[in-house]
Amino acid sequence: QSALTQPASVSGSPGQSITISCTGTGSDVGSHNSVSWYQQYPGKAPKLMIYDVSIRTSGVSKRFSGSKSGNTASLTISGLQAEDEADYYCSSYTTSTTLVFGGGTKLTVL
Amino acid sequence: EVQLVESGGGLVQPGGSLRLSCAASGFTFSTYWMHWVRQAPGRGLVWLSHLNTDGSIATYADSVQGRFTISRDNAKNTLYLQMDSLRAEDTAVYYCARAFRQQLIHWGQGTLVTVSS
């Protein structure tokens, strides 16, 4: 049950686009479309942003988009805003019927 | 409005036990799989366990298998996590979450468990 691999940090200026990658294996990301992305502010509970690889939850800005290719999922945030500064986690269902999270990515808006 | 409220956290000595509860409201609790996730201070999210709708199928992460037990009482709309043989590395905020197609659509606010002598 190894964690999915995410970059520890990414940064971008307001208005720019950034992409956070999430690399797993054929036993998780590569074999399921139950891949999701969560946003977490310091001291707060995580919030589901994207599920089933690319579907935004209600109320989530269209600036957030998800995709997957092989064993790697990606979260893209376009038109960066200061309020996007947070930690982001990916997650995937696995062939062992467990869930696995990525290590998390700290997004800094410069 | 969906609400998940965890309780039962606190300070416990190594080797001790604790039972966490997660009170659910605002949705039909008995029709959803439920999960527990934890987050150690300054660290990332770690999935712990999930339970199916009638409580008959439970799955655990290797790190807690044999020490933690997930259960639910659908009549009381409550999810539980019994934690035994606690270790210092179990210190974390523990979250319960409602699942939708094995993705965690609603989360509680978390309860802090501190394992220390």
The whole-angstrom separation of Cα B110 and Cα B88 is 18
Residues of B whose CB is below 8 A from A98: 47, 50, 59-61
Q: Rounded distance, CA A11 to CA A27, Å?
A: 30
pLDDT tens digits along A41-73: 999 999 999 999 999 999 999 999 999 999 999
B107 touches chain A (CB under 8 A): yes
Q: How close A39 gets to chain B, by Cα (Å)?
A: 11
Sign of CA dihedral B95, B96, B98, B103: positive
Residue to mutate among B59, B101, B103, with most A CBs inside 10 A, is B103
What is chain A's mean pLDDT, rounded? 96
| Cβ distance of A52 and B101 shorter than 8 Å | yes
Confidence of residue A32 (pLDDT cuts 50, 70, 90): confident
Option in A47, A48, A98 nearest B103 (CB): A48
Q: For the segment B11-62, what is each residue's pLDDT rounded down to a tens digit? A: 999 999 999 999 999 999 999 999 999 999 999 999 999 999 999 999 999 9
Smallest CA–CA distance, residue B75 to chain A, in Å, is 26
